[in-house]
Structure 1
C-alpha cells in the first residue's frame, strides 16, 4: 500500500455485527481516500468447526451472515457513487466450513419451491487451509477421498444502505449490493455502488475461501477474512448519478451484477446496465451497445440460491477498445494498492 494512504483498522466484537443493510447505526466515520483493514466473521459466526457441528443445532437464525460495518463515508450523498477497491483479502483462520442446511440450496426443496420431499440430510464439511500451497482441502465424509483446491478468497457480501428507509437482511442481494456471492468480488476488484442515504453506510463480510459459480448447495468454503479496502467517492455530477446496479471493474473485465427472481430477470437487470455502461465507455447509442454486448458478454451465475438470484454480466476488456471508467478510478486505486 502506498505509504501516503492512511490505514484504519477495525475488528468488530460480536455485539457490533450488523445483520441488515439499513437500520444499523454506523460503527465509525471514514473519509474518502482512507484504507480500512477489516476483520469479518464467517457466515456461520464460527459455530461450525467440525463435521459433528450441524446447522440446526449450531446456528441461531436469523443471526447468520454477520457484516462488519456499517461505515459512514463523509461527504457521501444520495446519487453519488461509493467506490471500494479490494486491495487484499486474507483468510483469517486456517479452516473453512461448508454445509447442507435444511430447505436451503439449489438442488433441494425450499420454502419457495415446496414439494412433499423431506430436506436433504444435514452435513458439514471442514476444509483445511494450506497457506504455503495456497489450497483448501476437500475431504469426503468417509475420509476416503481428499483433493486440494486452489485458495481463491472473495467476499460474498458488499453493500450500502437501501433507499427509502428500507432495511434488508444480510442474506439479500439487490440494487444496493448485499449478498451477491459473485467470485468476481476478489482482491484487485473495484466496486461501484450507488449511494442511497447520507454517508452511504456500507458494510461487508461473508468471506469465502473459494466458491464455484452459482454456489449450488447454498454455502461456499465459508471463512473469516481480513480485508484491506480503499474507500473513495465520486460525486453525482461526475458519476452520472450512480449506477443502477453494482458495477465491478478488474484489470480484465467491466462487470455488472443484477439480482432478482426469476433468474432471467436477474440476467436482464445486469444486461441492461451493461448496455448503459458500454454507451458511457464508448459513446454508443443504445442499440449499437446492445448489439456489441450480444457478441462479447460473458454471463456466469453468481448465486442461484439466495433470496434473490444474482447474475454477473462481464465485458472482457481484451475484446473492446481501451476506455477509462469513472475517470480512471480503478487504475488509480490499483496503483495505490500496489504501493
Structure 2
C-alpha cells in the first residue's frame, strides 16, 4: 500500500513532545507515505549564544523535544515499522553544543558518583555552512578554529514502548529513542518494533554532526527539516531497532552497562545474519566476528547504545525484508 500524497508535520512549540508513548497523534498517514517534518534542537531553540547556559534558559526536564507522534495506519503489535530518512537538512545557519554538570562520559553523574567537582557548564556555537558542507568549530579558550564535515543525522527516533509505558525522550531502549548514533543519517532505513496500534513514531534531536560516543554529552545540536518515507512490514517485529544503509546492516542495543549493550547488538546481528543467509548460528557468529564493526552510539544517556555493523557484500545477495530499504530509498529520491 502506498500514498501519492506528501504529508507535512511542522509542530508549534506547544505541540512538541518530550516522551515516547501516550498522547494523541499529531498526524495519521497510510503506509508508503512521504512525510516532510521539522524538528527543534535538544534545547528547544532556546540556547542561541555562549551566554545562554541551558540551566538558565531551559526548563528542566523539558529537553530533547520530538516531533510526533505519527500514527501509521495498519501498524499493529508484532509488526515492524520501516522509516527511511530521505533527507536531513539544517534549518538554521547556526548550531550549538554544551557541557553540563553531572552529564557526559567524563564527569561525575547521578549513576557514577564521584567526589570531584562536576564539569563546568559551557556553550559552544557553531556556524553552519550548508552550501560548503561544513560546520565551523571555535574554541572558547583560544583562537583555534577548524571546519568539520557537515553530516546531519537524528539522535532520537522511536515508537511508543510496549506495555503502555511512557518513556522520556532522552532514554534509548527497545523502542528506539535517544540512540544518538551517527549512522542515522540520510540514506538510512531504521526498523522499529511496533508495540501499539499505529506505532506512534516520533523524531527529534537533530545533529549537524556527532562523534561516536557523544562523549561530552551533546553533539552539534540543530533544528532540522527532514523528509522520511514510512512503511509497515507485517509480522516481522524484532526485539531491538535495526538499521540498513546501501552498504551495511546494523543492529542496536541500548542498556547499561556498555558491555551488555555490545552483547545485545552483536547477538541481534548474529541472529539476523543467520536468518538472512540460512547459516547455522555458529557459522553466522564466525562471519560477524571476522567481518563486523562495532560503532558506539552514546556513552552518556540513561542507557548506552552500541551498534553491530556488517557489510552487505558478505551476505551473498540476501535482502532484508524483501528489499524494502531499496524500495523506500527510491520513493524518497523522487521527493528530495
Q: Could you state the TM-score of these two structures normalised by the residue count of structure 2?
A: 0.97
* Residues 1:281 and 2:290 aligned together: no
Give the deviation of 1:178 after TM superposition.
0.3
The equivalent of 1:306 in structure 2 is: 301
Q: Distance in 2 between matches of 1:107 and 1:142?
A: 19
Give the deviation of 1:291 after TM superposition.
1.4
Give the deviation of 1:337 after TM superposition.
1.8
Q: Distance in 2 between matches of 1:104 and 1:214?
A: 13
Moved more, 276-285 or 171-180: 276-285
Deviations 1:88-119 (A, max 9, x none): 00100111100011110000111111111111
Q: Distance in 1 between matches of 2:191 and 2:161?
A: 15
Q: Distance in 1 between matches of 2:193 and 2:141?
A: 47
Moved over 4 A (4+): none
Asked if 1 retains the 8 angstrom alpha-carbon contact of 2:262 and 2:308, the reply is yes
Q: Distance in 2 between matches of 1:5 and 1:210?
A: 32
The equivalent of 2:187 in structure 1 is: 188
Q: Distance in 2 between matches of 1:26 and 1:118?
A: 43
Secondary structure of the residue that 2:276 maps to in structure 1?
helix
The equivalent of 1:100 in structure 2 is: 99
**1:1-339 aligned within 5 A:** 5-236=4-235, 239=236, 242-339=237-334
Secondary structure of the residue that 2:62 maps to in structure 1?
coil
Name structure 2 gaps, 5 residues minimum: none
Q: Distance in 2 between matches of 1:36 and 1:28?
A: 10
Q: Distance in 1 between matches of 2:194 and 2:210?
A: 28
Q: Distance in 2 between matches of 1:33 and 1:319?
A: 29
Name structure 1 gaps, 5 residues minimum: none
Give the deviation of 1:338 after TM superposition.
2.1
Moved more, 287-296 or 202-211: 287-296
Secondary structure of the residue that 1:174 maps to in structure 2?
coil
Deviations 1:222-263 (A, max 9, x none): 000011000101111xx2xx1111010000100011100000
Give the RMSD, CA atoms, in angstroms.
1.2
Q: Distance in 2 between matches of 1:154 and 1:294?
A: 27
Q: Distance in 2 between matches of 1:146 and 1:132?
A: 19
Q: How many residues align?
A: 333
Moved more, 18-27 or 211-220: 18-27
Give the deviation of 1:143 after TM superposition.
4.9
Secondary structure of the residue that 1:200 maps to in structure 2?
coil
Secondary structure of the residue that 1:271 maps to in structure 2?
helix
Deviations 1:278-330 (A, max 9, x none): 01110112121111111111001100000000001000123332211101101
Q: Distance in 1 between matches of 2:153 and 2:196?
A: 26
